[in-house]
């Protein structure tokens, strides 16, 4: 048994109770805060619980930062906060954690939505560069957030990416700055985060599964489908035109509509 930790989370009560809760797991360097608008929108039809995965946001810093551990944390949260079973939505790293949960604790997952990720290893050294760049900032002498944005420009040229990364920076010069995520731990665990190992001894997840991808993203390739269907035989595939890897941010309305259509 993997020791679990109590995850920080944001709960949006349902305006029309009745459906199982929706549990949302963010991607690398993200948090529940990134899902605030969508969580409120989903809550029009069902209770929505957006979590901070271990090592992220306000959740405790705990090790290992593995998908087995993240999945165990999610399972414990669903048992404790969601009545034992939930629909589970995970994006990117959170999608791998959600897939691991569905394979290891299928009784906790009614339906599964995976945002723009496949169960395989990725070669993406830029993700580690982001952590190194953030850790390289001298927070003690940082005058303002805008200065941090300038200093990260070389590692992250896109302003939207810098804004996402800097959602981890909290505080002020007067009270002191800090990173909300465990950047050193994530950097050390990056090979495992970019990788994938199918849990030993598991059976395929027989629940309905939606693999929702960005039309402009290359994270899920046609050749990934065979591996996905081997683990999730009831998977269906849907692409959002004009969306990249952060498809929920690029096309929030279309993303919400696709998720709600699948769940109903």
Read out DSSP for 98-138?
A: HHHHHHH-GGGEEEEEEES--SS----HHHHHHHHHHHTS-
Q: What is the pLDDT of residue 15?
A: 84
Domain boundaries of the chain, sorted by first residue:
9-122+195-263, 125-188
- Percentage of the chain beyond pLDDT 70 is 100
Decide: helix, strand or coil at residue 262. helix
Contact yes or no for 60/74 (Cβ under 8 A): no
Question: Is 31 assigned a catalytic role?
Answer: no
CA distance 227 to 145: 43
Q: What is the pLDDT of residue 244?
A: 95
Which among 26, 56, 91, 245 is annotated as catalytic?
Answer: 245
Q: What is the pLDDT of residues 157-203, one digit of tens each?
A: 999 999 999 999 998 777 889 999 999 999 999 999 999 999 999 99
Average pLDDT value for residue range 226-237: 98
At the topology level, CATH places domain 9-122+195-263 in Rossmann fold (3.40.50)
CA distance 61 to 67: 15
Contact yes or no for 14/46 (Cβ under 8 A): yes
Q: What is the pLDDT of residue 56?
A: 97
Q: What is the pLDDT of residues 107-118, one digit of tens each?
A: 999 999 999 999
Which among 92, 181, 217, 248 is annotated as catalytic?
Answer: 92
Contact yes or no for 100/70 (Cβ under 8 A): yes
CA distance 58 to 51: 9
Question: Is 92 assigned a catalytic role?
Answer: yes
């Amino acid at each position: 048994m993997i020791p679990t930790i109590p995850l920080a989370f944001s709960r949006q009560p349902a305006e029309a109770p009745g459906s199982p809760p929706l549990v949302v797991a963010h991607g690398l360097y993200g948090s529940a805060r990134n899902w605030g608008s969508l969580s409120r929108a989903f809550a029009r039809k069902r209770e929505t619980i957006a979590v901070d995965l271990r090592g992220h946001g306000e959740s405790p810093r705990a090790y290992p930062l593995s998908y087995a551990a993240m999945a165990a944390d999610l399972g414990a949260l669903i048992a404790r906060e969601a009545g034992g079973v939930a629909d589970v939505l995970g994006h990117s790293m959170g999608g791998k954690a959600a897939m691991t949960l569905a394979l290891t604790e299928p009784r906790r997952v009614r339906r599964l939505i995976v945002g723009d990720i496949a169960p395989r290893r990725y070669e993406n050294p830029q993700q580690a560069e982001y952590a190194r760049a953030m850790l390289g900032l001298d927070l003690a002498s940082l005058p303002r957030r805008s200065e941090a944005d300038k200093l990260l420009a070389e590692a992250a040229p896109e302003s939207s990416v810098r804004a996402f990364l800097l959602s981890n920076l909290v505080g002020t010069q007067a009270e002191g700055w800090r990173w909300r995520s465990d950047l050193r731990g994530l950097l050390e665990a990056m090979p495992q985060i970019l990788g994938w190992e199918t849990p030993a001894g598991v059976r395929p997840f027989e629940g309905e599964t939606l693999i929702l991808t960005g039309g402009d993203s290359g994270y899920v390739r046609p050749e990934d489908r065979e591996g996905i269907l081997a683990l999730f035989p009831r998977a269906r595939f849907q692409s959002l035109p004009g969306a990249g890897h952060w498809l929920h941010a690029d096309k929030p309305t279309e993303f919400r509509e696709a998720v709600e259509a699948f769940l109903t």
